[in-house]
Amino acid sequence: MDKIQITQPSITQLEIDYVNDAVTNGWGAKCYDYIYKFQDAFSNYIGSDYCLATSSCTGAIHLGLMALGIKEGDEVIVPESTWIASVEPVMYIGAKPVFVDVLKDTWCIDPKKIEEAITPKTKAIIVVHLYGNVCEMDEIMGIAKRHDLKVLEDSAEGLGSEYRGKKCGAIGDCGVFSFHGTKTMTTGEGGMLVTNNKEIYEKVSVLNDHGRNPKDPENKTFWMRDYGYKYKMANINAALGLAQISRMDELVEKKRLIFNWYKEELSGNEGIQLNEEQEYAFNSYWMPTIVFLKPLNINRELLFSKFQSENIDSRPFFLPLSSLPMFDSVKENKISYQIGYNGINLPSHHALKKSEIAAICDVLRKFILTN
Ligand SMILES: *Cc1c(COP(=O)(O)O)cnc(C)c1O
């Protein structure tokens, strides 16, 4: 039996046709066509006014923070539980990440603890819709408004998720997405920044073009007032993205089906917490995840080797970021420190069959009974 992969993209003839067309014809006068079409289709899907395609989500976060005016020495509030890429751009700028604990039920940043972490130096909050779970956006936007802070929504894992009927990524000052090959849709590597704020859009557009501003009165082809960055997406990648975004409803539906298969299989197992959606949320379930609650006393490393021997791929929950050597640990972030060592991600790629999920859950249940 082939190994059951944790993630892999869903590629159909449509993706192959678009990429073939881009690589064959998408040059010269047509070298941006798929980029524009992809950005338009993405705007439509998310319901945001402006979209900028980038070569990665990490790059999009960097551009977003710059456009929000984050500078060296500023404090940026970030969740303790997330992928390192949510925080690295804060370091690029020389700003300081302030790690805040997550909630026990959503594993997303705790609004009350955001408020406690605010100081006169705080300028922005990065929220992360972890594994497709949805942050409490009304509370967070309210806090941001009261304290005059910017909000960047890292929706790399939340593409297709919704907060009270609004797509994640379209609620904060700006939102970012990832199209890395492990994510719900892919462009190979790639990202997107979305915003409803024209000023932010113009800033990120200039920063992403080496600082060239088409509106600058002194602008000539190779003239720029300041240096910038280059995180552009290639036309070939955008062709893949256009095909994928046109299939988003189907892709999200399958992710939800897979999650529900897990939920059925694991129902009644005390001590296992799944990332179920809250009443305010529509969860696109990028990655079905379980956390073993304390009484089970599971040895996660043993479980990984068991899965390995059964040819099943799995992954640990993100470790608390402040536990990494380059940061000062914030042990008070108790929930992140608890789930970071007791959670695992389960396979969820689009080609999975119900029988495979049943087999995965069989291994899991037997392991719990005998350990
Ligand atoms: C994947 C991911 C990113 C980074 O995306 P890249 O496209 O690989 O740069 C950022 N934040 C989160 C939460 C992610 O899961």
- The answer to whether the CB of 56 is under 6 A from ligand 1 is yes
Q: Which of 248, 206, 240, 197 is nearest to 38 (CA)?
A: 240
**Which atom of ligand 1 is nearest to 190's Cα?**
7
Of the chain, the percentage scoring pLDDT greater than 90 comes to 92
Distance 86 CA to ligand 1 centre (A): 7
- The CATH 3.90.1150.10 portion of the chain extends over 248-370
- Ligand 1, residue 130: give the atom nearest the CA: 13
Rounded Cα–Cα distance for residues 307 and 342 (Å): 16
Ligand 1 atom showing the smallest separation from residue 180 Cα: 7
Which residues, in sequence order, are CB contacts of 94 under 8 Å at separation 6+? 71, 72, 73
Question: Rounded CA gap, 369 and 371, in Å?
Answer: 6
Chain mean pLDDT for the chain: 96
User: Into which CATH architecture does domain 248-370 fall?
Assistant: Alpha-Beta Complex (3.90)
Among 92, 133, 178, 240, which residue has the most ligand 1 atoms within 8 Å of its CB, making it the best to mutate? 178
Name the residue of 55, 65, 88, 154 whose CB sits within 8 Å of the most ligand 1 atoms, as the mutation to test its pocket.
154
Q: Where are the alpha helices (DSSP H) in the chain?
A: 13-25, 33-46, 57-67, 88-93, 111-117, 137-147, 198-207, 235-245, 248-266, 300-309, 334-339, 354-370
Higher pLDDT, 32 or 215: 32
Question: For residues 371 and 339, which has the higher predicted lDDT (pLDDT)?
Answer: 339
pLDDT (tens digit per residue) in 298-317? 899 999 999 999 999 999 99
Residue nearest to atom 14 of ligand 1 (CA): 156
Q: Count how many residues are written for the chain.
A: 371
Separation between Cα atoms, residue 184 and residue 349, nearest integer Å? 8
Q: How far is the CA of 236 from the centre of ligand 1 (A)?
A: 20
Model pLDDT, residue 221: 81
What pLDDT does 1 receive? 66
Give the pLDDT confidence of 8-17 residue by residue, as tens digits: 999 999 999 9
Q: Could you tell me which residues come within 8 angstroms of residue 286 by beta carbon, excluding any fewer than 6 positions away?
A: 131, 132, 157, 158, 159, 183, 184, 255, 348
Q: Is 205 in the pocket of ligand 1 (CB under 6 A)?
A: no
Ligand 1 neighbour 58 (Cβ under 6 A) = yes
Per residue in 257-272, pLDDT (tens digit) is: 999 999 999 998 888 9
With a cut of 70, say whether residue 210 has pLDDT above it.
yes
Residue with the smallest CA separation from ligand 1 atom 2 is: 156
46-89 pLDDT, tens digit each: 999 999 999 999 999 999 999 999 999 999 999 999 999 999 99
Supply the pLDDT for residue 218.
86
Q: Residue 2: its pLDDT value, please?
A: 83
Q: What is the torsion angle, in degrees rounded to the nearest 10, for the CA atoms of residue 12, residue 251, residue 87 and residue 166?
A: 140
Residue 295 pLDDT > 90: no
Ligand 1 pocket, residue 128 CB under 6 Å: yes
Residue with token string 């593409």? 159
Please pick, among 123, 183, 255, 306, the residue that the annotation labels catalytic. Answer: 183
Q: In the predicted model, what is the mean pLDDT of residues 216-244? A: 93
Which atom, in ligand 1's list, is nearest to the CA of 157? 15
Q: pLDDT at position 360, please?
A: 97
Q: Does ligand 1 lie within 6 Å of residue 85's CB atom?
A: yes
Distance CA(363)–CA(371), nearest Å, equals 12
| d(CA 243, ligand 1 centre) in Å | 21
Distance (Å, rounded) from C-alpha 102 to C-alpha 260?
Answer: 24
Contact between residue 336 and residue 29 where contact means Cβ atoms under 8 Å apart? no
pLDDT band at 21 (very low <50, low <70, confident <90, very high): very high
pTM here? 0.97
**Statement: residue 30 has pLDDT above 80:** yes
Reported as a pLDDT band with limits 50, 70 and 90, residue 371 is confident
Q: Is the CB of 180 under 6 A from ligand 1?
A: yes
Mean pLDDT, range 329-349, rounded to an integer? 96
Element spanning 194, H or E: strand 191-195
Q: Among 256, 330, 339, 279, which residue's Cα sits nearest to residue 99?
A: 330
Q: Is the CB of 239 under 6 A from ligand 1?
A: no
Query: Would you state the pLDDT for residue 214?
Result: 85
pLDDT digit string, tens, across residues 36-46: 999 999 999 99
Separation CA 297–CA 93 (nearest Å)? 41
Catalytic annotation present for 306:
no
Ligand 1 centroid to residue 60 C-alpha, Å: 10
**Is 80 exceeded by the pLDDT of residue 147?**
yes
State the distance from the centre of ligand 1 to the C-alpha of 215, rounded, in angstroms.
32
Q: Model confidence over 155-194: pLDDT tens digits?
A: 999 999 999 999 999 999 999 999 999 999 999 999 999 9
The alpha carbon of 199 and the centre of ligand 1 are apart by a number of angstroms equal to 25
Q: What kind of fold does domain 13-245 have according to CATH?
A: Aspartate Aminotransferase; domain 2 (3.40.640)
